[in-house]
Copies of this chain bind each other. A is one copy, B any other.
């Protein structure tokens, strides 16, 4: 949790419980944004698109200059629910729109939870209505907590950046701990900026921030139908940021940092994690190869179980590189793990020490450096190990 959470003028949060899957725990979040706010949404590439994702994409292109409302529920993904799922999402969005007095397109829904069960509309609508009565700009912790599923803790990042005499604030929160891989990671993420930015700047910053954060992490290589990332300004007219200005650069930078830190928090809370594993591939032929090798290693069950077992089993890392489709030969491959030499020229490094490598494996953070000797491209991916707990959590999710 950050030491200081900066509120974003005019953006308010309220939470309540639907009293369904999670009992009395708050699982429903309403976010109210001012009329001047601008929203940029990016969504899952999974062809199984959840109903709220379809509706959010539609509505985001049609919002009017009035308040915008985000409705987020945890516990039910409203995915693979067919035409009824879409009707359900439309119905509670319309009801809230009426309640607040805005066009129904100004209400944007997000969902996370079990796939394939109909959403209990009445319960969630009651929760949203009750949440709406409690909105306050300081409710960050409640908001970040209400959207969790198998996550064990809320994830919030907040930063300030000064440009001249003006302070800009960016605060965001995210959830996601399994069914995570890029294109992009399974998650809900909401980041808010106290400033006024053009829609095109906002979209561009959003894409860049995603590619450097959520699109570099994987837990299990599975993607969800509900992945949604929202970046929004409050439209603060005293903090206008012009295209190409120094302020835009500085603010972009902290937005990207916030996204990166949120994605790191997701990995640190990945299902069953005992170790954070960072794979840095360098000297790749091109970015595609660097990414492909990084994710092949990051998603190899044998590498991930070796990490869990604190076994410096470099043979499994090398073998994963060897099966990657973009790799032609492994004669120049070099691997280091927490600075310990493992592999040189495609086989064991003469400087390899089993004792030192085992010691390095005991750490909670494992940095694997892979140099392919094929070119100049590089990519960094982040993942978790594969533990018994991951299996237990996921063999027991629905029941």
A-side residues, CB < 8 A to B, are 45-49, 77, 79-82, 85, 114-116, 178-179, 183, 220-225, 299-302, 305-306, 308-309, 311, 313-316, 318-323, 327-330, 343, 345-348, 386-388, 390-392, 394-399
Contact = CB atoms under 8 A, between A and B. Distances in A.
B323 A115 contact: no
B391 A46 contact: no
Contact of A302 (B45, B178, B306): B178
A398 B354 CA distance: 12
Contact of A309 (B221, B330, B395): B395
A90 to B, nearest CB: 16
A156 to B, nearest CB: 27
A30 B48 CA distance: 53
Given A302-B394, A319-B225, A394-B301, A81 B309 contact: no
A179 B392 CA distance: 22
A74 to B, nearest CB: 16
Contacts of A343: 80
B81 A323 contact: no
A382 to B, nearest CB: 17
Would you list the 3 A-B pairs with minimal beta carbon distance, nearest first?
A115-B315, A309-B395, A48-B322
A398 B308 CA distance: 13
A345 B82 contact: yes
A74 B315 CA distance: 16
Contacts of A224: 319
B347 A300 contact: no
> How many monomers of this chain does the complex have?
2
A301 B178 CA distance: 10
A309 B82 contact: no
B221 A301 contact: yes
A66 B260 CA distance: 65
B314 A394 contact: no
A238 B332 CA distance: 52
A222 B225 CA distance: 26
B115 A316 contact: yes
A115 B330 CA distance: 15
11 contacts: A45-B323, A47-B330, A49-B322, A80-B319, A116-B348, A220-B302, A222-B300, A222-B320, A305-B391, A306-B394, A311-B398
Given A47-B327, A48-B319, A179-B302, 9 more contacts: A80-B318, A115-B315, A179-B319, A222-B302, A309-B395, A309-B399, A311-B395, A311-B397, A391-B391
Contact of A116 (B49, B329, B347, B394): B347
Contact of A315 (B80, B308, B390): B80
Contacts of A327: 47
A32 to B, nearest CB: 31
Given A319-B222, A348-B81, A391 B398 contact: no
B80 A348 contact: yes
A85 B114 CA distance: 51
A48 B330 CA distance: 7
A319 B44 CA distance: 11
Contacts of A330: 47-48
